[in-house]
Amino acid sequence: MSIADYPFAPLGGAEDRAMAIREQLREAIIDRRLAPGTKLGEAEVGALFDVSRTVVRSALQMLSFEGLVRSERNRGSFVANPSPEEARQVFDSRRLIEPALAAAAIERIGPADVARFRELLAEEDRLMGQRGTSVRRAEIRASGDFHLELARVAGNAVLARFMEELVARSSLVIALYGRTGASSCGHADHGSILGALEQRDAALAASLLVHHIDHIEADLDLRPASGLGLREALASE
Amino acid sequence: MSIADYPFAPLGGAEDRAMAIREQLREAIIDRRLAPGTKLGEAEVGALFDVSRTVVRSALQMLSFEGLVRSERNRGSFVANPSPEEARQVFDSRRLIEPALAAAAIERIGPADVARFRELLAEEDRLMGQRGTSVRRAEIRASGDFHLELARVAGNAVLARFMEELVARSSLVIALYGRTGASSCGHADHGSILGALEQRDAALAASLLVHHIDHIEADLDLRPASGLGLREALASE
DNA sequence: ACGGCCAACTTTGTATGCAATCTGGTCGAC
DNA sequence: GTCGACCAGATTGCATACAAAGTTGGCCGT
């Protein structure tokens, strides 16, 4: 897969171009349009978006900080290729943070928030009814959005930013190690989690969230990957 | 206070200059040599380190991602000026993450780790015996190092990176809102926390950590700051 | 005298050029 | 025939030049 396959919008108003490119690349990565290991050459990306390498470097640096891109000095940037160990750490972190977010969200959730959650669920439902790879991508993103909304409602901007990173990296991990396309298996979970939030049952919400994350992780094949160096080498081009 | 006051080392080997500058600025900020609100002009910083603005921009962008620097488009970068609300969120996040780190660390801690912890404690002791502002700075950093070591021992690189950010931002918050110089008040806490880790008592370690963080936060004056805009204006130059 | 406007200066945003480093291939020696 | 060194191409790292936005101070009009 080449980044040239990505049909990007013309960057309309483009307030901050580096940020816009970061967003585009980010979505491409978590939507799995850009495979892990894909090289992101500064010149190539710059040509695609019609900006100089300066701007591209800025965007790539941001993505590198988020863990979505791995940069090697004098070699270039590549879509990250998280190891099974990294994957475990990401999910461990989520199991730690998300129940706390739920507890905080329960203190603050209002009707408007519930409505937004329901919109997200409806979108997930709509996508689940369809078939096709692009639909599947949108579905994965919508699933992540549910967790991001949870972080937003919880009202802790610091944790929300962490969650943004964790959700993005989760998508990458699922792309790499997902056994089935069953990332959607957790959809029903989202509904029950929202229910727990509405009932202000923090313990239940926390329990459901942990199980939800367990489910997602259980669908992964995190075995050390036989020829690790080899596999990585093969995957990187 | 001007950044020109900072006596930086000549950047010896300088593998990655942007990273080196980031590190220098970072230490200057958490050591409170750079006051919150201080403007970090690209040209000025570049002249100090004898590099082009390109490199400085890269360093500032990293710091901006860490929350230590606030960048405004077409206006410049400033040492961050966290609001009381942000401060609370930082400490809330630490209260969430650190007990979990302690639990994980207990599973992995070994003699070498204990030795390292003891070194850090000894360093804190040594610094606490002295007087002077530069000593106080070193002491604050040493105190942070204890928590970073905890994150390292816990073995979760994702959470360790989060903690690095949280500790750094905590230093900034203490600089802004600290009532006494009593950030050291928690020193004894570190000793007992290490004791709990050695005894493999996760519940005790978690409890001690939470109280420790409570202590630090309790020493802050997080009232909304009377003339907010004015204060900010005064602090920014 | 006060308020708004304009112009010069300052600072940041972006593009481009050059040097350094790495990659891959080819040629030569053993 | 294989291994090693060297060379050409490509790519990144950094510096500089130019463009755009913002800020400051003074000037003019009311």
Please indicate, yes or no, whether residues A110 and A214 belong to a single structural domain of this protein. yes
Give the CA-to-C1' distance from A81 to C26 in angstroms.
34
Domain assignment of residue B224, yes or no: no
A54, A73, A100 member nearest B16 (Cβ): A73
Sign of CA dihedral A84, A85, A90, A96: positive
Q: What is the pLDDT of residues A99-150, one digit of tens each?
A: 999 999 999 999 999 999 999 999 888 887 787 777 777 778 888 999 999 9
Put simply, the answer to whether A86 touches B158 (Cβ < 8 Å) is yes
A70 and A102 fall within a common domain: no
| B124 and B69, same domain (yes or no) | no
What integer best gives the mean pLDDT of chain A? 86
Domain holding B195, by residue range, is 84-218
Residue A159 to residue B96, Cβ atoms within 8 A = yes
Indicate whether B148 and B194 sit together in one domain: yes
What distance lies between CA A23 and its chain's CA centroid? 12
Task: Return per-residue pLDDT of chain B as tens, 237 residues.
Answer: 443 334 333 333 446 899 999 999 999 998 889 999 999 999 999 999 999 999 999 999 999 999 999 999 999 999 999 999 999 999 999 999 999 999 999 999 999 999 999 999 998 888 877 877 777 777 788 889 999 999 999 999 999 999 999 999 999 998 888 886 554 556 788 999 999 999 999 999 999 999 999 998 998 888 765 444 444 444 433
Q: Are residues B69 and B161 in the same domain?
A: no
A16, A65, A159 ranked by CB distance to B93: nearest: A159
Q: Are A187 and A128 in contact (CB under 8 A)?
A: yes
In a shared domain, residues B177 and B162 = yes
A73 touches chain B (CB under 8 A): yes
How is residue B103 written in tokens?
A: 């639990």
Give the DSSP H or E segment for A78. Answer: strand A76-79
Rounded Cα distance between B90 and A158, Å, is: 7
Asked if A96 and B96 come within 8 Å (Cβ–Cβ), the reply is yes
Measured N-to-C along each axis, helices A84-108 and B84-108 cross at an angle, to the nearest 10 degrees, of 140
Residues B70 and B99 placed together within one structural domain of the fold: no
Answer yes or no: is pLDDT of A199 > 90: yes
How far is CA A47 from each of CA A10, A25, A62, rounded to the nearest angstrom? 13, 14, 19
How far off is chain B from A190, nearest CA to CA, in Å?
Answer: 23
Kindly state whether residues A59 and A108 are assigned to the same domain: no
CB A35 within 8 A of CB A1: yes
CA of A225, closest CA in chain B: separation in Å?
20
- pLDDT reported for residue A2: 43
Residue A181 three-state SS: coil
Q: With respect to residue B226, please indicate whether it lies within any of the assigned structural domains.
A: no
Count of domains forming chain B: 2
Which CATH number is A155's domain given? 1.20.120.530
Q: Do A128 and A210 reside in the same domain of the chain? A: yes
For the CA of A73 and the C1' of D4, the distance in angstroms is 26
Whether any strand D atom is under 7 angstroms from the Cβ of B74: the reply reads: yes
Does A83 reach chain B within 8 Å, measured CB to CB?
Answer: no
Judged by CB atoms closer than 8 Å, whether chains meet at B89 and A65 is answered as: no
Two tokens, residue B69:
């620097």
Residues 93-132 of A with CB under 8 A from B: 93, 96-97, 100
Residues of chain B found within 8 Å of residue A65, distances taken between Cβ atoms: 62, 65
- Domain assignment present for residue B69? The answer is yes
A119/A198 same-domain check: yes
Q: Are residues B98 and B212 in the same domain?
A: yes
CA A155 to CA B237: how far, in whole Å? 31
| Nearest beta carbon to residue A92 from set B92, B156, B166 | B156
**DSSP secondary structure letters along B127-180:** HHTS-SHHHHHHHHHHHHHHHHHHHHHHT-HHHHHHHHHHHHHHHHHHHHHBSS
pLDDT digits (tens, 9 = 90+) for A161-171: 999 999 999 99
CA atoms within 13 A on the CB side of A37: 13
CA of A41: nearest nucleotide by C1' is D11
d(CA A67, nearest CA chain B) in Å:
9
Spatial contact of B80 and B68, defined as CB atoms under 8 Å apart: yes
Chain B residues with beta carbon closer than 8 angstroms to that of A57: 58
**Domain final residue, candidates A32, A52, A79:** A79
